[in-house]
Chain A
Amino acid sequence: MISQLNAIAGLLSTWITYFAAFYCAALGCGVLVRRGFLPLHLSAVTGISAYAFAASCGHFHSFPAAVAVALSTSAVFSLFVGSIFSRVRAASAALASIAIQLIFEEHVRTASWTGGSQGLWQGIPAMSPFQRVVLAAVLLAICSQLYRLFGHTTAARRITADGLSGKFYQSVSVHSAVVPILVANLLVGLLGGCAGILLALQIGLVAPATFSLYFSILYVSVILLVGYANLASIAFGSFILGVLPEVLRFTGLGTVNRSAWQGLIVGALLLSFVVLQLPRWNLRTSAVLTRGKS
């Protein structure tokens, strides 16, 4: 009986931690999507945080210090990336984000401090399911509040306006979009950092495969599927994408190829969404054109 309860608690804590990690990373994606491009480097931001967390756990032997190092490292990295995104937009920015992600993957695969393809596992604290759930709940609350607050700031409005039409923003605004972009990227660093810490604690191993381009695509897919405006929608999308592989494993459907099933379901959902959305985009555009002519 006790062993069964322990198993259920372990399963629930795993689901909640994966959900929280996906949710935090998707929130980071939602911040940058306002600029009008789909960021494909979020996995690199979470990965930087996870590697910094694992390395500093082994070095400092203090959990708060390791968390602080991880968050500040991912924030600094994200600020650097933000300086790039202040120069480029749209598909050029998406290409730049892919290049950043691939540089990160190449680095962690070959560098000695990251443990190469074996990854880092020494020093990562083994937490009980209850501790993991408490930490995930705290980080969820903090990240949601940060995202909500950011949505009401002038920086968010300026980034959205700049993303909708860069030329229009430049012609009507006396303020440059650089500072809002940097603020947004700082927030992305913190959100991605939280996701990285949660993933490192849950898996107990920080390896390149966990932070590949594939996961960046999954984070972007959450925002593509449910949008960035509503926290509940993002939570729903993250639940589907983050918990789905674990549910499949639990039901025995995806014991071996759970990521394959996950990709297939997400791909089908995304494709149906795209096909359903195209007429709406088309109608909206036609309406704008008609109004412009009259």
Chain B
Amino acid sequence: MNAWALDAFIIGGLLSVAAVGLALHLRLVRFFDLSWALWAMSAGLLGVYVARRSPSVVLAVLMGTLLGATLGALEDGLILRKALTSFIPPDVLERFSFAAALAIYLAIVSTTELLGFRDQEFVQARPWSWHGLSDPQLTTAVSCWSALLICAAIRTTRLGIKIRALLDSPSAYAQLGFSVSLPSAIVGLIAGGLTGLAGACFGLLYLAHYSMGLALMLLAVIPCLLLGLQSSFRTVIAAVLTSAAIAGIRYRLGYTASEYVIYSLILFLLILRPRGLRGHVREV
């Protein structure tokens, strides 16, 4: 297979998982919550930490996913319950979650530094015999696309219908007498799990560093701004298109140029269409 296409397939899976996780979380909390980046960073750091101490990359990805899922379930369950029971408007919640995320970020960075973690950590990739793929690359491709298939399967079940109703209007869902705590915790679990998976794979594929969560969040914002948050299928399509473009630029112009293009694209999208190309992303 063409190396560019293979790269696009792997980055596409990673970016799709991150974008779907971000879209689910944003639809639930209704503001750009920067603590999402914290979930991804924590999962990435843990993934690299485990991968350097165990022979299995799969275990590292699994641990990262579990950590992300736990953080997501805790935050989404608590925040949404608080928002619906205490009449806290989104802008106050946004300030609160931002300040709390900054505090926890500083605490995590400092603790990991004290534990001997350097500001950039990576895993030496072991070559794989199949098409020259490395161990992290194969794990990323398989786990990310499998996770997306599982999410697609959940969509049509009773749980999926409940989740979609909750995401459409949490207030209406609560007014009908349904408890929001458990479904919102489940949404957080799924969103956090996907985020943790993306964070762990990102750390294993590239580098685990202290701004990786924010870098991944900026990447995941692009598909959300391009085709909106309303449909996970559209988010995946946008993520695949974005990753194909990123891989193409990376192969043609190099890594630095692709970084410039990505961040400039985000700036232009935020400036020109802050509500997304289709106008569905809420401007907060």
Contacts and interface: CB of A to CB of B under 8 A. Distances in A.
B261 to A, nearest CB: 10
Interface in A70-118: 84, 87-92, 94-96, 98-100, 102-103, 106-107, 110
Given A106-B259, A267-B110, A281-B88, A98 B32 contact: no
A208 B31 CA distance: 32
Contact of A264 (B95, B114, B260): B114
A224 B102 contact: yes
Given A92-B274, A92-B283, A92-B284, A261 B34 contact: no
Interface string A271-288: 101100110011001100
B200 to A, nearest CB: 21
B215 to A, nearest CB: 7
A257 B96 contact: no
Given A213-B211, A267-B104, A92 B111 contact: no
A278 B96 contact: yes
A267 B87 contact: no
A281 B90 CA distance: 12
Contact of B218 (A89, A90, A99, A281): A99
Give chain B's interface residue range (CB within 8 Å of chain A): 35 or more
B148 interface: no
The interface residues of chain A, by DSSP majority, are classed as helix
B271 A106 contact: no
A106 B256 contact: yes
B88 A285 contact: yes
A141 B59 CA distance: 56
Contacts of A1: none
Nearest to A214: B210
A263 interface: yes
Contact of A96 (B34, B111, B271): B271
B259 A98 contact: no
B105 A100 contact: no
A282 B110 contact: no
Nearest to B117: A260
Interface residues of A, number: 49
A270 B99 contact: yes
B54 interface: no
A264 B270 contact: no
B270 A94 contact: no
A91 B32 contact: yes
B267 A84 contact: yes
A78 to B, nearest CB: 15
B284 A90 contact: yes
Given A102-B214, A266-B106, A95 B266 contact: yes
Given A221-B106, A271-B104, A281 B263 contact: no
Interface of A: 36, 38, 84, 87-92, 94-96, 98-100, 102-103, 106-107, 110, 212-214, 217, 220-221, 224, 257, 259-264, 266-271, 273-274, 277-278, 281-282, 285-286, 289
Q: Which 9 A-B pairs have the closest CB atoms?
A: A91-B32, A267-B106, A263-B110, A267-B107, A270-B103, A260-B113, A264-B110, A271-B103, A263-B106
Interface of B: 31-34, 86-89, 91-92, 94-96, 98-100, 102-107, 109-111, 113-114, 210-211, 214-215, 217-218, 221, 256, 259-260, 263-264, 266-267, 270-272, 274, 283-284
24 contacts: A84-B267, A88-B270, A88-B283, A89-B283, A90-B32, A96-B270, A102-B214, A103-B263, A213-B214, A259-B110, A260-B109, A262-B110, A263-B113, A267-B106, A267-B110, A268-B103, A270-B102, A270-B103, A270-B106, A271-B107, A281-B95, A285-B88, A285-B92, A286-B86
